[in-house]
Structures are given as C-alpha cells and as structure tokens.
Structure 1
Amino acid sequence: MSTLVCFHAHPDDEAISTGGAMARAAAEGHRVVLVVATDGAHGEVPDDLADGETLVDRRKQETDGSVAALGAHRVVFLGYTDSGMTGWDQNSDPDCFFQAELADAAERLAVILREENADVLTAYDWHGNYGHPDHIKVHEVGHAAVDLLISEGRGIRLFEATMNRDRVVTMMQQAMEMGVTPPQDGADGEAFDPAGPADDGNPFGMLEAELTLEIDVSGFVAQKRAAIACHRSQISDQSFFLEMPEEAFTAMFGIESYIERGVEPPMRPGWLFA
C-alpha cells in the first residue's frame, strides 16, 4: 500500500477539495495524511463558542471530525496563522502563512513527507483555485517541498487539486434548476459566477483543457458530505454544499479534478496511484 499526503490551506478545504480521494484511498487500504498550513483563525466566528474556546480550537476539533469521516489516519497543522483574504490587514502579519519564508515552509512540509515516506502529495493549482493568498502559498510550498525530496533521490508524485471550471458552470446550472440556491460571492449578495473574476481577478479553477486527471469518487460522496458537515462553524446546514439534493451533490462532487506535475493534458480518467 502507498501513502497519500493532502496539503491544504485551512480547516475545511480538505473536505471540499480532496475529500473523495482521501476517502477512496483510505478505503483501499492506503495511508492518508492531512497537512493543514494554517489555523483558520480568520474564518467566520460562530456564536456558540464556549467560555475560553477560540475559533482556532473549534476549527481543529472540526478537522478531527472531518478526518475521521474520511477515514484518514493523521492530521498535522504546519503551524502558521491564517493570512485572511487578499488585501486584508492580516496579510502583513509576520506569523501568517503568506509571509512565511518559502524555504522554511517547504522544509516543514518535507519533514512530514519524509516521516511518512509519502508516495503522493496533493497541493493546489497555480492560483489556488480562486486566488486566496494561503492557497497560492500551498501551491508554491508543495512544489518546493517536492523539489527537496527529489533532490534527495526520493520518488514522489505531485497532483494539483483544482476545480474543472467548465464542469462547475454546468453543474451549478443544473443544481439551480433543481431549486438549489447558488453560493453567494462576497458581501454584495450576488450569485457566485465561476467564470467571473475570483479573489485574484482570474476565473475560478482551471479550464478542462488544462487538466490531466479526473477521478471518480462518486462511491464516496457520503463520506465527503459528512466531512463537509463537520465544519459547521464555516458551513451551515443551509449552505450550497449541504442543502442540495443527493443527486445534485453527487453530480457536482463525485468527480475530482487534478493536474499532475510533469504530465501534459488532455484530461484522462484515472487514479492517484495508477
């Protein structure tokens, strides 16, 4: 059996982005490890925090629940503070992930990859799906860590988790036709447009023509949905993710899209360990 390490920016990203692959890998007997770059300190603050409980405490607890739902074996927080969205004052916090020295962050991740003798690492595409500073940093750090391991003679494959923009546009339209309320884009209350400018001014995700791998995780959408539901401080029961009918959820989240480092398009159906 092999070891899969999934590297994500914040608590909850793992469930939405690579949750299906994590659940499938665990079910097949592979070791699955989640590495979270930041503490998620600048997410939504719920109104039911207990006395002395912080948002960071809650989000770590939620991540433990998500990992259990997916069947993963270990979760590691890399130790950085959430950087906030593009342009926020928190971007300049010297302890935030966005400000981290690339070499330092890459070595922190590489330590885990060595400990686990990882065969596969997932990170994000070049703009982190939607331009969030921490997501972009995950892309950079993931590649730098793999460079370190390759320089040591270790074999490891890197897959950039992304969203198939063409498919998301189609699936969102179908979901809305089924009566599902589309997600909102920021504070203006407008419906999210995958083809419109995201946090960095670029459209959401990547075009299908830019992808190399499509993974069928339709048999694991129940685990994926359960993992998403664990992150209740950030994702309510009335959210786009959880209110859609099972059929719509499976159609949208039963396929995961990746770009394998060193592999050229077109996109092919397959698996991380094939």
Structure 2
Amino acid sequence: MRASLLAVFAHPDDETLRCGGTLAKYAALGADVHLICLTRGEMGRNTDPTLSDVNLPTQRERELQEACRLLGIHSPIFLGYHDSGRADRLQRDDPLTTINADPIEMERRILDVIERTRPQVMVTFDPHGMYGHPDHLVAHRVATAAYASSGFKQVRVQRLFYTVQSREEMERLQSPGHQGGQPLGVLNGLAPETYAVCGCTIAAEIDIHEFAARKRAALFAHRTQTGPHSTLGRLSEMQLQPLLERETFSFGGIRGPVTEYPLTDLFAGLQVGWTAQKGSP
C-alpha cells in the first residue's frame, strides 16, 4: 500500500509552522499527503497592510492553497466550519463554529476522508493545542477520536502523532517586551510546563533542513498572518531558524510496535510503498 499521511488542523497556517517541513519531506519521498482544515480562519486578522479590503476567509483559503502547492502536498480539504475566535472575540452564538458543532459529526467527516485517502499516519495538534486556541483543541479532539474509531473501520490508521514543542523551543519563541501594546513573542505569557513537553515525551524527531526553503516559503505564503503587524512576521532569524531544521512529535496513538524511540521516520517499520525512491527527496 502506498504511504499516506493525513494532517488535521484548524486554520490556514496551522499546518506549516509546526509540521510543514515534515509534510513536504514525505510528499517528496512519494507519500500521498493530505490536509484537512476545519475552518477558513474567518476570525483572524489581516496583518499585512499591503492587502487592503480583502475578504479574509477567501484570502486565507487562497493562501493555504498556495502553501500546499509550495509544500508539494495535495490541495487542502476544507470542512467548512467557522473559526471560533478566542478571548474577547470568541463566537459563542454561531452554530457553525467548531466549538458549537457536533463533534461526532466532525469525527464522521474526518473518517470519510480517512476512507478515501487511506493514511497509515495521522498528524494533529497536541492536547494543549500549541497555545490553547479553542479551535486547536477541537481539532485535537476530533482527530484523536477519528483515529480511535478507525480501529473499527476498513482503513485502520496505524499511528497518530501530535505536533509538540520542547521547553527550550517554546522559550526561544517567547520574546521580552511589547510593541503597540501587544507582546512581541509568539507564545508570550504561556507557561512552558503546560504548553511544552519534556524531552522524554518526544517520540519522533524529523530532520527537515533539506526542506527549509519550502517551509519558509509556505509560511510566508500566509501573508495575512505573517505581515509586519503579526508576531510571526516579527520572528527573528534566531527564533525562526530552529523551526526550519527539525520538527518534533509525541505519540497520540499507536497500533503495533516501533523500531526505535524516538523515531526519525514517522513510517518506520510500516509496510508501505513509495512512488519515489525512499530516502531520496
């Protein structure tokens, strides 16, 4: 069976920051790499002043299409739920936001994609959703549920991985100071003991340095989210460069033994085929 990977995230740009290099790597190796995006990021902000009068969900859909093209993966699969927002912009009354939608229905729709794309490996957010965004937490929940339920289905996903960050990685992204009343660091104000993981929890380390240029291009294809008024757009090279060298994952679920720990290949030990010669990006 051909190697296949399915990623499940909440908004356009979620796919690139923490696992874009991994998605690009496996696509280059010959795997089928698909991405489910629950929403179009309607509640985000346009941080690029050169993009005036944009329809944000339409623009963010285009940005994700371009990011997927740059990463070399299939076009995104949008499930059409609405961005829930967060904090004072939390959309409590919209029945189509992920926080209000039926989670069992969301799980069923992900299972439908699993049946079509036949992944051996799934990737989604960790239990804290990287930084606690409500939509990230929903994505984690429904992807984990779909993985569990796939054990009773024709296509039984073999491994579920969560994107995670070490304490060191998280602290590097936390910058002191403010600008315009906003914190400069991407993850400022969050406790690493909650939102990061200890080293022994990291189950896979993927070397992505050969795909650094693709990941960088895909990240900045999300122009509305990486403009000069965004925390992502103000990342220093010292903060950004490690994100272009390796990506780390923990186990969310596994069916069967693994060959080593931590893994250096999400597919290690699985009997899969590749359309390109494995090991030759």
Class of the TM-score when normalised by the shorter of the 2 chains:
0.7 to 0.9
- Where does the alignment leave 5 or more consecutive residues of structure 1 unmatched? 174-181
What SS class does the counterpart of residue 130 from structure 1 fall into?
A: helix
CA RMSD of aligned residues (A): 3.0
The residue number in structure 2 matching 1:7 is: 8
SS at structure 2 position matched to 1:41: coil
Q: Is the contact made by 2:17 and 2:243 (CA closer than 8 Å) also made in structure 1?
A: no
Greater relative contact order, per chain length (Cα 8 Å cut-off, separation 6+): 2
For 2:177 and 2:4, how far apart are their aligned partners in 1?
Answer: 36
Note closer, same or farther for the CA distance 1:149–1:185 as it changes in structure 2 (3 Å cut).
farther
1:270 matched to 2:270? The reply is no
Q: Distance in 2 between matches of 1:166 and 1:117?
A: 35
Quick check: 1:229–1:237 contact (8 Å CA) kept in 2?
Answer: no
Q: 1:1-274 alignment to 2 at 5 Å?
A: 1-45=2-46, 47=49, 54-156=55-157, 157-169=159-171, 171-172=172-173, 182=175, 188-192=181-185, 196-197=189-190, 203-236=194-227, 241=232, 249-262=240-253, 268-274=262-268
TM-score (norm 2): 0.81
Letter in 2 for 1:94: P
Give the deviation of 1:36 after TM superposition. Answer: 0.3
Residues 246 and 202 of structure 1: CA distance in aligned 2, closer, same or farther (over 3 Å): closer
| In 2, Cα distance between equivalents of 1:2 and 1:50 | 42
Greater CA deviation, 121-130 or 243-252?
Answer: 243-252
Distance in 2 separating the partners of 1:75 and 1:132: 21
* d(CA) in 2 for partners of 1:100, 1:114: 22
| 1:197-241: CA deviation from partner (whole Å, max 9, x where unpaired) | 36xx97433232322211111111110000001001111268665
- 1:120–1:272 contact (8 Å) kept in structure 2: yes
Where 1:221 maps in the other structure, the secondary structure is helix
Amino acid in structure 2 at the alignment position of 1:197: L
**Alpha-carbon distance in structure 2 between the residues aligned to 1:195 and 1:54:** 29
Look up the equivalent residue of 2:148 and give its one-letter code: D
CA shift for structure 1 position 242? 5.5
**Preserved contact between residue 195 and residue 203 of structure 1 (Cα < 8 Å):** no
Deviation of the 1:49 alpha carbon: 5.4
How far is 1:196 from its partner?
A: 4.2
User: Residue 178 of structure 1 corresponds to which residue in structure 2?
Assistant: none
Which residue in the other structure is 2:276 paired with? none
1:196–1:202 contact (8 Å) kept in structure 2: no
CA distance in 2 between counterparts of 1:183 and 1:230 reads 27
Amino acid at match of 2:162: E
Alpha-carbon deviation of 1:120? 1.1
Asked if structure 1 preserves the Cα contact closer than 8 Å seen for 2:8 and 2:37, the reply is yes
Counterpart Cα distance in 2 of 1:235 and 1:187:
17
Secondary structure, aligned partner of 2:241: helix
**Aligned in 2, Cα 1:258/1:186: closer, same or farther, shift over 3 Å?**
farther
Tell me how far apart the structure 1 counterparts of residues 151 and 240 of structure 2 sit (CA, whole Å): 38
Q: Report the alpha carbon displacement of residue 162 of structure 1 after superposing the two structures with TM.
A: 1.9
Contact in 2 for aligned 1:59/1:233 (Cα 8 Å): yes
Aligned-residue identity in percent? 30
Alignment partners' CA distance in 2, 1:81 and 1:165: 32
Deviates more, 1:252-261 or 1:138-147: 252-261
How far, CA to CA, are the matches of 1:221 and 1:41 in structure 2?
28
| Kept in 1: contact 2:124–2:163 (CA 8 A) | yes
Work out the CA distance in 2 between the residues paired with 1:195 and 1:82: 22
SS of 2:83's equivalent in the other structure is: coil
Task: Please state how far the C-alpha of 1:86 moved relative to its aligned partner.
Answer: 3.7
- The runs of 5 or more residues in structure 2 that have no matched partner are 269-281
Deviations 1:26-57 (A, max 9, x none): 11011111110111001113555577x51111
